[in-house]
Amino acid sequence: MKIKGILTAGICVVALSAATRAMAIDAKAKNMILMDYETGAYLYEKNITEPIPPASMSKLMTIYMIFDKLRNGSLSLEDTFRVSENAWRKGGAASGGSTMFLAIGDEVTVDQLLKGIIIQSGNDACIVAAENIAGDEESFVAEMNTKAQELGLKNSHFANVTGLPHPDHKMSVEDLAHLARLIIKEFPQFYHLFSQKEFVYNNIRQGNRNPLLYSMPYADGMKTGHTEEAGFCLTASAKKGERRIIEVMTGLKSSKERSEEAEKMMNWAFREYDNYQLIEKGRKVADVPVWYGTYKTVPMVVSEDVVRTFKKSLRNQVKLIISYDSPVKAPVQMGQKLGVLKIEIPDEAITEVPLIAGQTINKVGLWGKIVANIKYLLTGEM
Catalytic residue among 58, 84, 98, 121: 121
Cβ atoms of 53 and 227 closer than 8 Å: yes
Catalytic residue among 46, 56, 170, 259: 56
| Residue 295 DSSP symbol | S
E-strand ranges in 185-260 read: 198-201, 204-207, 219-227, 231-240, 243-252
Separation in Å, CA 311 to CA 29, 94, 245, 301, 318: 22, 50, 14, 27, 11
Cβ atoms of 148 and 172 closer than 8 Å: no
User: Is 59 one of the annotated active-site residues of the chain?
Assistant: yes
C-alpha of 33 from chain center: 12
Catalytic residue among 30, 46, 58, 59: 59
Cβ atoms of 35 and 43 closer than 8 Å: yes
Cβ atoms of 160 and 169 closer than 8 Å: yes
Q: What distance in Å separates the CA atoms of residue 99 and residue 116, rounded to the nearest whole number?
A: 8
Radius of gyration of the chain (CA): 27
Cβ atoms of 149 and 139 closer than 8 Å: no
Q: Enumerate residues 6+ apart whose C-beta is below 8 A from 365.
A: none
Q: What distance in Å separates the CA atoms of residue 33 and residue 44, rounded to the nearest whole number?
A: 5
Phi-psi region of 347 (alpha: psi -120 to 50; beta: other; left: phi over 0): left
**Given CA atoms 119, 122, 123, 127 in this order, what sign does their dihedral have?**
negative
Q: What is Dmax (Cα atoms) for the chain? A: 95
Closest listed residue to residue 119, CA positions, set 222, 272, 251, 8: 222
Burial (CB count within 10 angstroms: exposed 0-12, middle 13-18, buried 19+), residue 43: buried
Catalytic (active-site) positions: 56, 59, 121
